Amino acid sequence: MLRVGYPATIAAEFFAAFPREVELIPLSEDLDHDVEIDVWIPDPYPARSQRIAPHLRGIKLVLSLMAGTEWIPAAVGPHVTICNARGAHNVSTAEWTLSAILATLKYFPFYVEVQQTGHWKRRFEATAHYEQISGKPHRLYPPVMLEELTAKRVLLVGHGAIGQEIERMLAPFHVELERVARTARTEPKVHPVSQLDALIPWAEVIVLILPLTPESLHLIGPRQFALMRQGTLLVNAARGAIVDTDALVDALQKGGIRAAVDVTDPEPLPVGHPLWNCPNLFLTPHIAGSTPQFAPRSIQTALDELKRYMAGEPLSNVVRPAV
C-alpha cells in the first residue's frame, strides 16, 4: 500500500477522495520520530515542513501544494521527484495582482487614511501625490485624484500558468502588453529574459510572476530601477528575492517609482525593517493565495498527480525529476 504523508494541520476531510489503495499518514508539525512514507505532501508553510523533513524516510515523490518549490530539493535530496501545484493558485494570485494594481493606481491606501482621519478636503493631497510620482509639476484642472489602468503599458515578467491568468484578467482594460520569460516564444510573442532591460523603460506597470531560481535571484536590482521611467509601478506576486530589497528601498525613498508587493526578502519581514515605512508602497504579507479555495484546489491538484503516479502515467507538474 502506498503511504502518503500529509500535514496534520489540514483537515482529513480534504483527503476523503484519495484512493483506498493509499494509506494516509497525518504528519504533525512537531513530529519527533522517523516515519516511512512513499509520497510527501508538505505543509504549505515551508518552515513547518523543513522541521520534520529529517524524520521522513523512503520518500520517492513530493507533491507540493504550492507553485514555488525552491526549498524542497535541499530537504529531500536528489533522488526524489518533485511536483508543484501548477494551476491551483492561478485565480487567487491573479486576482491579487489585478487588485494591487488597481488599488495603487486608484490611491486606495491613501483614501483609507482620509476616511480614518475624517477630513474630506485631504483628497487634494492626492493631486500633489500624482504630481510627485508622475514628475509632472504643472497643475491640472480638475485636479487629478487617481489614475487609470486602461491602455497602460504592462510588462509581464513570467508567462506560466499564473502569468497567463493575469493576462486574461488584464484583457478588459485594453492594456498594451509585452511578455518576458526564460525563453522566447512566438505565439503569443514572448521575449527572452535577456531582453528585459531593453523593455523596462517602455513599461508603466511591471508585473513579476516567475519562479525563484539562481538566474532570477535579484533579477530586479539597481540597474533595473535606474532604467524605470518616472512613476513606474512594480508589482511582485512571485518571490521576494527576485527583487534586490536594498535597491527597492532606495528607489522608493527617492520617489521615482512605486511598488505593490505580496512577497519580501527577508520573509517574514522583520519589525522595524525600512521597507515597512517606504513611501509609495502597498505591501501585503504573502497572502495572495490564501483564499477558501486554497486547500480544495491544491489538494485536488495533488490527487490528480497521485493518480497518474499510481497508474504509471507521466506526471504533469514535475519541476525536478529524480536523479
Contact 50, 58 (CB under 8 A): no
Distance between CA atoms of 228 and 197, rounded to whole angstroms? Answer: 9
Ramachandran angles phi, psi of 79, nearest 5° = -95, 25
Positive or negative: CA dihedral 322, 82, 49, 37 = negative
Ramachandran angles phi, psi of 203, nearest 5° = -80, 145
Q: Which three cell numbers stand for residue 99?
A: 487588485
Contact 70, 211 (CB under 8 A): yes
Q: Which three cell numbers stand for residue 193?
A: 529574459
Rg of the chain taking only CA atoms, in angstroms:
22
Catalytic annotation, residues = 239, 267, 286
Distance between CA atoms of 195 and 155, rounded to whole angstroms? Answer: 12
**3 state DSSP class of 226:** helix
Distance between CA atoms of 151 and 162, rounded to whole angstroms? Answer: 21
Distance between CA atoms of 64 and 43, rounded to whole angstroms? Answer: 8
Distance between CA atoms of 113 and 237, rounded to whole angstroms? Answer: 24
Distance between CA atoms of 238 and 261, rounded to whole angstroms? Answer: 9
Positive or negative: CA dihedral 275, 75, 69, 194 = positive
